[in-house]
Amino acid sequence: MRIIVPFISLDDLRDKAKDFLSRYHPSGSIPVPIDDIVELELRISVIPVEGLSHALGEPGLISRDLLTIRIDQNVLEKKPFLYRTTIAHEAAHAILHRDIFSRFSYSNEEGWIRLVQSIDEKAFRHLEWQAGALASLICVPRQALKREVGIAIQKATTASAGLHETGSPLMLQYVSQYLSRVFEVQPSMVRQRIEDEGFLPPSAPSMQSKA
């Protein structure tokens, strides 16, 4: 199946996230109550499904009509950060990709797998990147992240002699893990946001590569 995924720049996604948060979470508190927003404001139902991750290879799947998110029951009950990350990602499809999903045809996990196998791999990766990027911008807002990164680095350097080098990979790992508990999302989402925003200390390798 041939799909065309319209280009959306990271700056455009930042604007969409800003508009979303202004509308649905103007207080700016963290963690962002993404699960409540999805269910109460976007009117998307969340249905637990036993063994979904095993069957699908992913913890969540939004329906073709974008009205229901199926979520692995074990994730819902025991992995709250993965749950919130997944809900945000699937809801991002509803925000960005309504026209594309309207052309899809699937009703269950098997149908989705067949659909993905029929789609151009590059286009599908682009579709998923857009949803993941918007989800992370919503769940980990820029100003809150900037503030919390500074706090986390200060805590790390004062609490542990092994983390005095703020540009080390160990520091990035520590900050990502620490802030995952603040924003209540997966550490990988926090780490990506830190790198995207350039909130790494100047001595970090990824910052040097941007110079």
Q: What's the angle, vertex CA 29, arms to CA 27 and CA 32, rounded to 5?
A: 105
For residues 90 and 57, give the distance between their C-alpha atoms in angstroms, rounded to a whole number.
15
What pTM value is reported for the model?
Answer: 0.90
Q: Using the 8-state DSSP alphabet, how is residue 65 labeled?
A: T
95 and 178 part of one domain: no
* DSSP strand pairing (45-49 vs 68-72): parallel
Q: What is the pLDDT of residues 83-101, one digit of tens each?
A: 999 999 999 999 999 999 9
CATH number at residue 128: 1.10.10.2910
147 and 135 part of one domain: no
3-state helix, strand, coil in the chain (%, to 5): 65, 5, 30
**Domain boundary at 91, 107, 139, which?**
139
182 and 129 part of one domain: no
For residues 145 and 107, give the distance between their C-alpha atoms in angstroms, rounded to a whole number.
38
Q: What is the pLDDT of residues 29-76, one digit of tens each?
A: 999 999 999 999 999 999 999 999 999 999 999 999 999 999 999 999
Q: What is the pLDDT of residues 109-165, one digit of tens each?
A: 999 999 999 999 999 999 999 999 999 999 999 999 999 999 998 888 776 545 656
Instruction: Say if 112 falls within a structural domain.
Output: yes
Domain that holds residue 164: 142-210
**Domain boundary at 121, 139, 157, which?**
139
For residues 105 and 112, give the distance between their C-alpha atoms in angstroms, rounded to a whole number.
8
- Provide the sign of the torsion angle of the four alpha carbons 121, 125, 122, 103, taken in this order: positive
111 and 46 part of one domain: yes
147 and 125 part of one domain: no
Domain total in the chain: 2
**Domain boundary at 112, 139, 166, which?**
139
Specify whether the CB–CB gap between 184 and 84 falls below 8 A.
yes
